[in-house]
Amino acid sequence: MLWIVTGMAASWLGVDAAFGQESAAASNYPEHTVTVVCPWSPGGGTDRVSRFWAGALEKEFGQPFVVVNRTGGAGAVGHFASAHAKPNGLTIGMITFELSTMHRMRISRLTYEDYECLLQVNADPAAIIVRNDAPWQTLGELLDDVRARPGELRMSGTATGGAWDLARAGLLQAAGMPIDSVVWVPHPGAAPSLLELMGGHLDAVCCSVPEVASQLENEQVRVLAVMANERMENYPDLPTAKEQGIDWIAVGWRGLALPKGTPPDIVKLLSDRCEKIAASNDYREFMQKNGFGITIRTTTDFTEFLREQHAQWKSVVEAAGYDKGLTSNNDPGPHALPWALVIGLIAVGGWEFARGTHPVAEPAKEQGSLLRLLLVCIALVGYIVAVTWLGFAVSTFGFVAMTTWKLGARPWAALLAAGVILAIVWLLFVVAFQVQLPQGVLGLPF
């Protein structure tokens, strides 16, 4: 009983503290660890950029900024997480190109309007890439060939409806050609597409130039056109599509944003610091090493740019028919396999059931208590629920101490075990891997 009362008191204090934090002004921002949500997986380009920004902001504010990868759903999951976080400045979202198109393709309802845009940090134009031994020397030659035999040449670079698919769709549209005159083969990303290109299974790839930097350097591939307004600073030899008579620009971009409704003073503070970092030498060096292009747009410009993007991609998505769905005619579709499996399961399951179990030697019925099993299951669920409310540290300590004690350990041994396990988790996950374990309403460190 005492425990319940103390627990309730503690949680009330926690709630109070949380409200107290929200009303605090930007003067003591950030009170504790800030999360930077990256919608793409560790090791990729966006992840690297996110980690740079987290590190730079950490130096700037003297509080930990931790990158959290929330992947999946073509970026929808991560964007959703940062847009719907508490608007208190303690969650910053890394937003990418897909934000401009995901609502058009009904992957998500999110748009740039769900964010307070902080700063655009990067832009890389799309490019058309072919094998070094390919017959086409210019974009015009490739497009003429496509006109001559529509629906025969195959391209890839990302999934159907991804940034680079839309870029090439827009290019074809700008050239006055039907979008399906090239077959877009969906592949998970630029790297696998390049392998298919080199194996001769694709005719051209559309992706950003940094993604093919090493193949370009090794003269395995050529760039026919870059879809930028002017030639790239790092690659002055590569011609633009505009030079070749097709007025079409497509850039993949990345930026930082806060959830809508973040207090303006915090937005101001963060955007000032971000601008400072963006102007630094460190940032230039980092981006150049990675081959990423730098394009900086500050809050209002960035919002304006996103509004333009929002409009630009509407017509492309609609012309490609992606607003109605992403399946191609030759694709058995997303439901073919699950249905086949359900039918298979019913068939085999029925056969097994009909055959009965008696011919096989029945193993000795497992001894034991079902009641204990049930109790443990309840305890496990209770533990996870407790993690949500009390935070990881408190509930794990409680869980380990309680369980080992119930299983016959002496009280001091149970407490010691809880302490040791907690210490190992803290060292390995929190310190080494910077995992943000649930803090619960108490706002304990982890």
Among the residue ranges 170-178, 215-223, 240-248, 293-301, the one whose residues contact other proteins (CB under 8 A): 215-223
Least CB distance to other proteins at residue 146 (A): 15
Beta bridge partner(s), residue 221: 131
Q: Which is nearer to other proteins, 7 or 186 (CB)?
A: 186
Q: Which string of DSSP letters, residue by residue, matches 211-260?
A: GGHHHHHTTSEEEEEE-SSS--SS-TTSPBTTTTT-----EEEEEEEEET
By CB under 8 A, tell whether 428 contacts other proteins: yes
30 upstream amide cis, omega within 30 of 0: yes
Residue 35: Cβ within 10 Å count: 20
Question: Which residues between 55 and 94 bind other proteins (CB under 8 A)?
Answer: 68-74, 76-77, 80
Whether 270 contacts 92, CB under 8 Å: yes
Least CB distance to other proteins at residue 44 (A): 8
Least CB distance to other proteins at residue 165 (A): 10
First to last CA, the chain: 26
Q: Distance between CA 255 and CA 120 in Å, rounded?
A: 4
By CB under 8 A, tell whether 192 contacts other proteins: yes
Phi, psi for 351 (deg, rounded to 5): -65, -45
Mask of contacts with other proteins, 106-125, x by CB under 8 A?
A: xx------------------
By CB under 8 A, tell whether 360 contacts other proteins: yes
By CB under 8 A, tell whether 100 contacts other proteins: no
Q: Which is nearer to other proteins, 264 or 363 (CB)?
A: 363
Least CB distance to other proteins at residue 183 (A): 7
Per the listing, tokens 């394009």 go with 295
Least CB distance to other proteins at residue 140 (A): 25
Question: Which residues between 364 and 393 bind other proteins (CB under 8 A)?
Answer: 366-370, 372-373, 376-377, 380-381, 383-384, 387-388, 392
Whether 394 contacts 419, CB under 8 Å: no
Please give the DSSP secondary-structure letter assigned to residue 176. T
Task: Report how many residues bind other proteins under the rule CB under 8 A.
Answer: 111
By CB under 8 A, tell whether 429 contacts other proteins: yes
Q: How far is CA 35 from CA 40, 55, 89, 210, 394, in A?
A: 15, 12, 9, 27, 21
Least CB distance to other proteins at residue 112 (A): 19
Q: Which is nearer to other proteins, 49 or 249 (CB)?
A: 49
By CB under 8 A, tell whether 355 contacts other proteins: yes
Q: Distance between CA 390 and CA 388 in Å, rounded?
A: 6
CA-based torsion, 170, 176, 179, 181: positive or negative: negative
Q: What single letter denotes the amino acid at residue 117?
A: C
Whether 282 contacts 223, CB under 8 Å: no
Q: Which is nearer to other proteins, 10 or 159 (CB)?
A: 159
Least CB distance to other proteins at residue 434 (A): 8
By CB under 8 A, tell whether 160 contacts other proteins: yes
> From the list 196, 244, 296, 310, which residue makes contact with other proteins (rule: CB under 8 A)?
196
> From the list 111, 220, 244, 312, which residue makes contact with other proteins (rule: CB under 8 A)?
220
Mask of contacts with other proteins, 261-300, x by CB under 8 A?
A: ------------------------x--xxxx---------
By CB under 8 A, tell whether 329 contacts other proteins: yes
> From the list 17, 279, 348, 431, which residue makes contact with other proteins (rule: CB under 8 A)?
348
Q: Is 66 left (phi over 0), alpha (psi -120 to 50) or beta?
A: beta
Question: Which residues between 2 and 61 bind other proteins (CB under 8 A)?
Answer: 41-44, 47-48, 51
CA 106-111-112 angle, 5° bins: 160
